[in-house]
């Protein structure tokens, strides 16, 4: 296997380079090795002893050194750093949401820029949201896909009314957005007034908080 793909990242199997959407992420070689160890056992707890054996190849280091290195990995993953979970006194685990593959598949369909592609993307993002309601990437994908469908005059109100009205409240919780406290009241008003304005607002918030382009 040439590379390990998770979320928007890819790590070459020799653990010499981490990319995010094709762009290099700066990370020390030791941190890359720690990330590879977590990815090899994705979903399982990597105990301190096992991490040292795999990432440090048996060189004796303290647990504090492991903690500092894993913290560096977390920071390098940005908003996805929360996928690395600390197991007190045991070690760490990398918990990639079950929705991850569906999210990547959804954006693949979206990139076709056709009505059929957008509809397939919506299906993927909806299934991803059902798998993991807190995965904000499914919300971003749904918002973008519904807005794109509007270009084709595809009855967005009917699509959105199906099951999208309350989804943002759950998915946006981890983002700590001040406006979120008003979303249960303001959101439905926007939605009833103009679903497209509502979708654009949600998409704007998601991309603003993640530090990416809002256009």
Give 178-194 pLDDT, tens digit per residue: 544 445 445 555 555 55
pLDDT-derived band of residue 149, with 50, 70 and 90 as boundaries?
A: confident
- pLDDT of 210 reads 60
User: Residue 215: what pLDDT?
Assistant: 43
**Local confidence band at 107 (pLDDT 50, 70, 90 cut-offs):** very high
The beta-strand segments (E) located in the chain are: 3-6, 9-12, 18-20, 23-25, 46-47, 84-87, 91-94
With pLDDT > 90 as the criterion, what percentage of the chain qualifies?
Answer: 50
- The residue assigned the tokens 């998770």 is 6
Average pLDDT score over the chain? 80
SS3 content of the chain, % helix, strand, coil (to 5): 60, 10, 30
Query: Would you say residue 52 has pLDDT above 90?
Result: yes
Residue 191: CA atoms inside 13 Å, Cβ hemisphere, count?
20
pLDDT at 202: 67
pLDDT score recorded for residue 63:
96
pLDDT exceeds cutoff 60 at 68: yes
The two tokens of residue 128 are: 């991803």
> Residue 151 — very low, low, confident or very high, per pLDDT cuts 50/70/90?
confident
Mean predicted confidence (pLDDT) in 199-206: 66
Give the C-alpha separation, 157 to 196, whole Å.
8
Half-sphere exposure in the Cβ direction for 102 (13 Å, CA): 23
């Amino acid at each position: 296997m040439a590379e390990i793909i998770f979320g928007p990242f890819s790590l070459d199997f020799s653990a010499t380079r981490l990319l995010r959407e094709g762009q290099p992420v700066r990370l020390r070689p030791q941190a890359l090795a720690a990330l590879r160890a977590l990815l090899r056992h994705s979903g399982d707890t990597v105990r301190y002893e096992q991490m040292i054996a795999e990432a440090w190849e048996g060189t004796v280091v303290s647990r504090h050194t492991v903690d500092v290195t894993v913290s560096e990995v977390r920071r390098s993953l940005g908003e996805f750093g929360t996928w690395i979970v600390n197991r007190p006194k045991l070690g760490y685990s990398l918990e990639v949401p079950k929705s991850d593959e569906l999210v990547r598949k959804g954006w693949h369909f979206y990139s076709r820029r056709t009505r059929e592609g957008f509809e397939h993307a919506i299906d993927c993002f909806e299934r991803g949201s059902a798998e993991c309601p807190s995965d904000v990437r499914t919300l971003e994908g749904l918002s973008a896909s519904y807005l794109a469908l509007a270009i084709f005059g595809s009855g967005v109100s009917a699509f959105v009314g199906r099951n999208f009205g309350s989804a943002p409240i759950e998915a946006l919780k981890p983002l700590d957005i001040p406006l979120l406290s008003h979303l249960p009241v303001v959101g439905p008003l926007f939605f009833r007034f103009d679903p497209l304005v509502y979708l654009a607002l949600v998409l704007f918030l998601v991309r603003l908080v993640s530090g990416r382009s809002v256009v």
